[in-house]
Amino acid sequence: MNYFKKIVLILFVFSLSTSLFAKNKAVLVKSVKELKSAIKNESNYIQLADGNYTDLRIALNYSGTEKQNVVIEAQNPGKVVIIGNSHIDVNGDYIQLIGFDFDNGKRQKSEALIMIEGKNNRVSETRFRNYNTVGGVWIQLNGQYNRVDHCWFEGKTSGASYVNVDVPKKGGNHHLVDHNFFARPPLKRNGGSALRIGHGSMATRFCYTVVEFNLFDDCSGESEIMSSKSCGNMFRYNTFFNCKGGLSFRQGEQGIIESNYFISNKGENNRCSGVGVKNRRNLVLNNYFYGLSPKKGSVIGFGAGSPPDPKRVAQGIIAIHFPKTAENVIAHNLLVRNQGKLFDMVSDLGHRNKIFPSDSMYFFNNQMVGSIPFIKLHSEPQHMVWDNNYYQGKTGIEKNAGLLKSKFKLEKRTNYVFVPKKSGEASKAWMDYLPKQMLDRIEFAGVKENLPAGVYFAPEGERGGLQKVLTKKDVGPSWK
C-alpha cells in the first residue's frame, strides 16, 4: 500500500469514527418544544422523530466547526413534516439541515422559510411544496460558502423565487446549488423565477455562485427560469426540460453558462426558450438546444440597453436598468430542430426605453440544424465576429466567411439528443476574447483535446463535459 492510499484510509477511518461518535451523542426530540430546548443547550447533533411539527420557528445562533458540524436531521428522512407558520434562521456556521419535508404550510408574513446568514451551512435531502399563503422566498441564501443540494422544489403559486441570493459588497457568496429538482406553474407576473442571484443594486458585485446538476422540469413561473443579477456566476450541467422561459443573464458581467441541456418535446407552440444574455463579457459555451419554440425573441437572445434613469439615481441604485449588451462569447453550442430564430440581436429593442442594440458579439464553433432562418440583426451595422460556425438551413443574413453551409448526418445519442457524426475542426480563437479569470473557471475540454466543432460529450464521470439529460432519478432527496 503506497503512502497516498494509507493517508486516504486513515482519513476515512477517522471520519467514520467521528461520525459514529457524533451519532452516539445524538439528542432525539419529538416536539417543537424539545427541539428548542436542544438548540438552547447548543447540541451539536439533533434528530427529530417522525411526525408533524407545526409552527416550527427556531434560530440557530451557535456554530459547529469544519470537522464537527452541527447536524439537525430527520431520524427517518422524509417523515418529519414541517407545517404551519414555520421559519428557520441559520445565523451560525457549519450547520446542516437534512431530511425534512416542508409541505402545505401557512405563513403569516412574507418571509423566507429558511434564512441562511452564516458560512459553510447546508440544506440537503429536503422537500419544499405548497407554502403559498403569502409570498416570499423559500430559501434565502446570504452569507458565504453555503450549499443547497438534493432538494425538491415544486408547487409555488405565490410570488418570489424558490431560492434567492443577496450579494455582499465584497468577498462574494461562493454558494453551491446542486442536484435539486425544480418545477413551477405559471405565476402570470414578474417574480416567478426558480432562482434569483442578486438584484439591481448588486449588479456590479461579484457573487461566484455555482448552479450545477439540477433538473428544471416544466419550471415555467415566468419568462426567466433563473435570473442572474450579479457577476461571476456559473450555470453548468443542468437540464431544462419543457420550461416556458429561459436562463437569463439579466445584469452582471463574467457569467458562464456551460454544458447544459435545453430541451422541449412539446412541438412548435411550446414557448420554451434557452438563454438570454445582457451586459458584458458573458460566456455561453458547449450547450445543447433542441425543439425550442420561444413565444418571442429567440433561442439565444441578446438584450438592448437603456440610458441612465434619474429616478434610479435618486433611489440610490445603479443608474442603468438595462446595461448595454456587448463583448459576449457564444461558442461550441449545438442547436438542433428548434422552431424559432436561434440568435436575435435585437430581441427587446424599443421596449421599456431600450434604445441601444447589442454590439461586439463573438460566435465560434457553433452548429445549427433546422429550417427557420437562424439570425436576426439590427438594420444598422453591428460588430459581429463569426468564426467557424456550421449550419444546415438558412442563416437569414448575407453570406459570411464564418458561417459555413454544411450537410449534417445526425446520430441519435438518446431521447431528444442528436449530434452530427462529423464536423469541421474547431477554432480556439474564442479564448482570446475572455479574461483569464473566466477561462480558469470553465471545465470544457473540447478545444484542449482538439475535438471538432460543436458540443463536447464526456464518455463518463460527472465532470468535464456535457453528458446525459437529467431525470428525476438523478436529483432531489434520496427518500422521495
| Residue 398 identity | E
Cα angle: 352, vertex 357, 359; to 5 degrees: 150
Tell me the C-alpha distance between 205 and 232, whole Å: 9
Please tell me the predicted confidence (pLDDT) of residue 316.
76
Cα–Cα distances (Å) from 5 to 1, 8, 9, 67, in that order, read 6, 5, 6, 21
DSSP secondary structure letter of residue 350: T
182 or 409, which is more confident? 182
Q: Model confidence at 212, in pLDDT bands (50, 70, 90)?
A: very high
List the chain domain ranges. Answer: 137-474
Q: What is the pLDDT of residues 63-113, one digit of tens each?
A: 999 999 999 999 999 999 999 999 999 999 999 999 999 998 988 889 999
Judged by DSSP in three states, 452 sits in strand
Please tell me the predicted confidence (pLDDT) of residue 97.
98
Average pLDDT over every residue of 399-407 = 91
Query: To which H or E segment does residue 250 belong?
Result: strand 246-251
Average pLDDT over every residue of 49-57 = 98
Cα angle: 386, vertex 389, 292; to 5 degrees: 105
Q: What is the pLDDT of residues 129-141, one digit of tens each?
A: 999 989 999 999 9
Tell me the C-alpha distance between 207 and 205, whole Å: 6
Pick the CATH number of 137-474 from 1.10.20.10, 2.160.20.10, 2.70.98.10, 2.40.110.10: 2.160.20.10
| Residue 47 identity | Q
CA dihedral in degrees (376, 379, 384, 389; nearest 10)? 30
- DSSP E strands in 272-372: the ranges are 275-277, 283-285, 288-290, 300-302, 326-331, 334-336, 343-344, 359-364, 367-369
Tell me the C-alpha distance between 460 and 324, whole Å: 40
Chain mean pLDDT for the chain: 89
Q: pTM higher than 0.75 for the full model? A: yes
Instruction: Look at 148-152, 278-282, 377-381 and tell me which has the smallest mean pLDDT.
Output: 377-381
Q: Which residues pair with 166 in a beta bridge?
A: none
For residue 290 the three cell numbers come to: 433542441
Please tell me the predicted confidence (pLDDT) of residue 54.
97
Q: Model confidence at 458, in pLDDT bands (50, 70, 90)?
A: low
Cβ proximity of 81 and 105 under 8 Å: no
